[in-house]
Structure 1
Amino acid sequence: MNQVAVLTLQGAGVPKAVHPVIISDDKELVLIDCGYPGSLPLLKQAAAEQGMELDRLTKIIITHHDYDHMGALAACKRAYSRVQVVAAREEAPYIAGEKKSLRLQQAEALYASLPEEQKALARGFQDRLAALEPATVDILVQDRDCFPWGGGIEIVATPGHMPGHISVYLKESKTLVTGDALVAEAGRLLFANPQYTLDMKLAWQSSRKFLDYDTARIVCYHGGIVTENIRAALLAM
């Protein structure tokens, strides 16, 4: 039986609720993004509340290498030894720690221009990024790659927020999991946060690709599920 579960992670160590997604079938249980560092207990609890056991976890798709999306990745790989990590080729070196995080580079570049009263907080943010535990990527994906997991998924390359950012289309449920390519507020669909988007023009071009899909709902990592006025909201961006 194919299932889709939208999780809500909130609690200690999670500054603001985030929404990983689980897709499952008789053979696979696939997690899309995995929360902040230290989030594994919250993941287990949230999955159990949806009637799913992470002991069945086989794959983790990482939409991009921001620490709130891959923070618990290394812990998941240790806890579930058969898990394979799936990500875009462009993101893999950052996830594996072979290249310095682009978010850390951004934070370091902005540091000197900050007011003195903001610098302590900024240093703490840099320290958290630098301490992020890496993990090897096992399966490299690109735009339009398809897999049979959970009734069928398609990888949608959506660079802009990060160069290798991907979204995932779940064919059976007509669900678009958009990572940070889009955000939601009070059920309304909004464009990616410009403060954290490295290439706004490219991010906008990526958002046009969502119009190609027959979509019943969108899941934003920040903001959750949107089901109303999807096409109109995309066209208005």
Structure 2
Amino acid sequence: MSNATQHSPVEAVSSTPSALGGLQQIAPGVLRLRLPLSNVFLLGDPGGPWVLVDAGTPGSAGMIRRAAEQHFGRESAPQAIVLTHGHLDHIGALHALLRCWPGVKVYAHALEQPYLTGQSAYPPPDPTVGGSMSALSPLFLPGPFDFQPHIHALPWPSDVAALDGWEVVNTPGHAPGHISLWRRADRTLIVGDAFVTTVQESLPAALTLRPHRVHRPPAYYTPDWEAARVSVERLAALHPQIAVTGHGDPLKGPVLTQELEQLAAQFDQKARPAQGRYVSRPAVTSRDGVLILPPLTARGQAVKWTGIGLVLLVLTGLMWRLRSDGGTTEP
């Protein structure tokens, strides 16, 4: 898929406010939709064929459909959905979207497919790496998720016009079959969670998208730090002009280049957690799913149950609020 349509690099990432549910033009044919705690991307030109990259958080299907109708027209379904990986915050609205777009194929790396076809859960999140989001990570269910018969293996077929010019870059570590998308013509990179541009381990930072800088993959859901290091090095070697990530605002130009090169060169010092379940020993996975998990220490067990208690408090508060408001959430 490397015969690229020639796009000239944009001079700056759009300054349009990244409000929830709002579309932000990033590069020609690349729009970012900010959702609660994550981003999805719409690739294509108005009125033409388009592709959705990732499928957002649970409850965000309506926001995604409205954004698609705004840009591509009513009743416009994507040619395909491409998943950078299958963690809950990237597939949370997928079932609801597929009910609206029943004929759409979903593409993912072969090493992601056990977690998307009901065969295996992901390695469980690690609440011991530090940060408020990490403590809440038991809320982010590891699956298994089942989207059959919609799941198909990469690469996508050549007739998916909206992906002309985009290449798959294998970037495992945060997930076994994690991928990024690279458009060589204008050096635009859709990263997924191989790195992000906010401190995702902190709930305030995850909500406000600050600080605005290159940061490691979300630590609480990264089960292989050595593979994650190699993936960051691979992306830094591309020298992207623009990078858009699963969490945080886009970055471009010299700031992106410098910070990404620093992360790659000093990954163990800047990215690898000082403690955590997967820091010394990764989860072992295969095409069948998870094979071996490193044990959780006694301290880790205590942190895990504390996190589960926090999750139960959050869920109880949400349920009470919904009942008191008499409201419902959109699927």
TM-score range with shorter-chain normalisation? 0.7 to 0.9
- In structure 2, the residue matched to 1:117 is none
Q: Determine whether 1:30 maps to 2:58.
A: no
Q: CA contact under 8 A between 2:168 and 2:180: conserved in structure 1?
A: yes
* Aligned residue pairs, count: 214
- Alpha-carbon offset, residue 75 of structure 1: 1.7
Q: Determine whether 1:218 maps to 2:247.
A: no
Q: CA contact under 8 A between 2:242 and 2:250: conserved in structure 1?
A: yes
Partners in 1 of 2:54 and 2:171 — Cα distance? Answer: 15
The structure in which a higher percent of residues are strand is: 1
Q: Determine whether 1:162 maps to 2:175.
A: yes
Q: 1:233 aligns with which of 240, 259, 278?
A: 259
Instruction: State TM-score, norm by structure 2.
Output: 0.57
- Alpha-carbon offset, residue 27 of structure 1: 5.8
- Alpha-carbon offset, residue 165 of structure 1: 0.5
| Superposed CA offset, 1:4-61 (max 9, x none) | 111112xxxx3x3x21111125763111101112211011233345556562312111
- Alpha-carbon offset, residue 62 of structure 1: 0.8
Among all aligned residue pairs of Structure 1 and Structure 2, give the percentage whose two residues are the same amino acid.
28
Q: CA contact under 8 A between 1:64 and 1:91: conserved in structure 2?
A: yes
| Superposed CA offset, 1:160-192 (max 9, x none) | 001111111134442111111111034311221
Q: What SS does the aligned partner of 2:215 have?
A: strand
Partners in 2 of 1:151 and 1:122 — Cα distance? Answer: 36
**What RMSD, in angstroms, separates the aligned Cα atoms of the two structures?**
2.9
Q: Determine whether 1:19 maps to 2:39.
A: yes
Q: Determine whether 1:86 maps to 2:103.
A: no
Q: 1:95 aligns with which of 112, 116, 137?
A: 116
Paired residue type of 1:174: R
- In structure 2, the residue matched to 1:43 is 64
Q: Determine whether 1:6 maps to 2:35.
A: no
- Range that drifts further, 83-92 or 30-39: 30-39
| Superposed CA offset, 1:185-205 (max 9, x none) | 343112213222111111011
Instruction: State TM-score, norm by structure 1.
Output: 0.78
Q: What SS does the aligned partner of 1:198 have?
A: coil
Partners in 2 of 1:192 and 1:218 — Cα distance? Answer: 14
Partners in 1 of 2:59 and 2:217 — Cα distance? Answer: 25
Q: What SS does the aligned partner of 2:214 have?
A: strand
- Range that drifts further, 61-70 or 183-192: 183-192
- In structure 2, the residue matched to 1:140 is 153
Distance 1:159 1:80, change over 3 A: same
- Alpha-carbon offset, residue 148 of structure 1: 5.1
Partners in 1 of 2:75 and 2:166 — Cα distance? Answer: 20
Q: CA contact under 8 A between 1:55 and 1:80: conserved in structure 2?
A: no
Partners in 1 of 2:182 and 2:137 — Cα distance? Answer: 35
Distance 1:56 1:232, change over 3 A: same
Partners in 1 of 2:145 and 2:107 — Cα distance? Answer: 17
Q: CA contact under 8 A between 1:36 and 1:68: conserved in structure 2?
A: yes
Q: CA contact under 8 A between 2:241 and 2:257: conserved in structure 1?
A: no
Distance 1:55 1:158, change over 3 A: same
Gaps of 5+ in 1: 114-119
Partners in 2 of 1:135 and 1:87 — Cα distance? Answer: 11
Structure label with greater radius of gyration: 2
